[in-house]
Amino acid sequence: MKNKKHILIIPAVVLLFSTSCKKYLDQAPDQRTQLNTVQKVSEILGTAYTQADYATFAEAASDNAEDKGVNVGSLDPLNQDAYLWQDVQSRDGGSPTAFWNASYAAIAAANAALDAIAVVKDPAPYQPYKGEALLARAYAHFMLVILYAKPFEPGGTNDSPGIPYVLTSEKVVFQKYSRGTVGDTYAQIEKDLQEGLPLIKNSAYQVPKYHFNQAAAYAFAARFYLFKKEYDKVIQYASAAFPGNSFAANIRPWNTRYYNSSANEMQIMFTQAAENSNLLLTEAPSAWARSYAFYRYGMGLKLNVALQQPNVTGTNFSGRKLYSYGAPNYTYLKFNELFIRSSPNANIGIPYTIMPQFTTDELLMNRAEAYANTGQYDEALADINTFASTRIYNYNPSTRAVTLAKVASFYGTDDPREGLINTVLDFKKAEFIQEGLRWLDIIRLKLPVTHNIKAVNNVDSYVTLEPDDPRRLFQLPPEVSLSDVPLNPR
């Protein structure tokens, strides 16, 4: 059953898992629709991850995008709406609507697995998959509340509308839902996270990088508690992901292996499951891989120049090779498209992009920020320098290491906490350009965003999205009102 007017676009196979189908069928016509074995539960969880990307709209909305100019780059309505902070009208892959619907389809798959596990006679062999289902459900809701609701305020009322937290499989069409509050949403995410985390076992998966393996689960927990500003827990979970503090061997080798690779090799390596830095990968029907370098609103000349300027280390991240398709279209070749033809001899099909959801690099920087916020400045510097050491070509720690003195001078502040956090945010802004991740920091820390707008004569004017602007919340699909879910105010 698939109904475009429904809040949740749920695959038909998921609905057949519901016990309500017994009202219509004495026996399921296809026994594969019965989640009655460990293998079948594990297989349905392959669809419990959002098969859509948020990079397309989140990157354009962020300060990692600029207006490259009139008649420059590809003018795509989705890209333009997001850059101008207008409600995105497109429903295609890479749109807020597509991400919303795909997230609830993933949640439906997780709930189907949990419903099946709840009634088995011997739950023991199902426990790793129960953990995966709980974490997948929590993560999908977490990304939804980040993108479509106001940020969590530690110590605040958090009584603004959250997003519908769906805990059971749907039994009827046009189910009524409540958005609840941001506080309610975060509380349920934390409940699922804490219940599921101890159950995760890497041995349950043939290819762990496409599932919530233990390192990915800890990375999720660290990001979640960073949003809640519970910094001790950020440190706890980030450290648990790599016992022995082996971050240096597991972050991206920008100034060695990547630097010495060809463009084709780079595109393949960045999203490989074999890449140590990639902790959780998902696939999305998306044209992002073929389009992100060419959009009119993206990384252009000004951002390129800014990335070449010396940072707090005294130099730039020279180990990261920038590729050009002709100014002002630039890329770091992070994504490689997988095109699935509709039939072996067809010329049409669906483009897919593999999207990293969690990486060791982000996890390390999240821990550095948590260290800074808890006054552990030496530990924060150690993480920052581990990160920088793989970004600078021919890195020399005696001349390029970040110190508190350099931080104070570069950022003009005597507050080491402020300076270290600025360092982390600047490093992350540069590192995750063209991945959409910058938007999460913008939302979390209420950072203003300024965009240039080029007129026909290519003269710039500027507009700023302030922290309290309601357009920072992406709009829900209009059809959710059929399930009594209110839209975000405009």
Burial 374-402 (b: 16+ CB within 10 A, else e): eebbebbbbbbbbbbbbbbeebeeeebbb
Enumerate the domain spans of the chain.
16-483
Could you identify the residue written with the tokens 């602007």? 469
DSSP 71: T
The domain defined by 16-483 folds into 1.25.40
DSSP 74: B
Task: Find the helix or strand (DSSP H, E) in which 14 lies.
Answer: helix 12-16
Burial 69-104 (b: 16+ CB within 10 A, else e): beebbeebebbbbbbbbebbebeebbbbbbbbbbbb
Instruction: Give CA torsion, residues 421, 425, 427, 431, to 10 deg.
Output: 150
Contact 282, 216 (CB under 8 A): no
Burial 169-181 (b: 16+ CB within 10 A, else e): bbeeeebebebbb
CA distance 427 to 387: 9
pTM greater than 0.85 (yes/no)? yes
Ordered per-residue pLDDT tens for the chain, 490 residues: 333 333 443 433 343 333 333 343 344 444 446 888 999 999 999 999 999 999 999 999 999 999 999 988 889 999 999 999 999 999 999 999 999 999 999 999 999 999 999 999 999 999 999 999 999 999 999 999 999 999 999 999 999 999 999 999 877 666 889 999 999 999 999 999 999 999 999 999 999 999 999 999 999 999 999 999 999 999 999 999 999 999 999 999 999 999 999 999 999 999 999 999 999 999 999 999 999 999 999 999 999 999 999 999 999 999 999 999 998 999 999 999 999 988 888 889 999 999 999 999 999 999 999 999 999 999 999 999 999 999 999 999 999 999 999 999 999 999 999 999 999 999 999 999 999 999 999 999 999 999 999 999 889 999 999 999 999 999 999 999 998 999 999 9
Burial class (CB in 10 A: 0-12, 13-18, 19+), 468: exposed
CA distance 183 to 209: 31
CA distance 37 to 160: 41
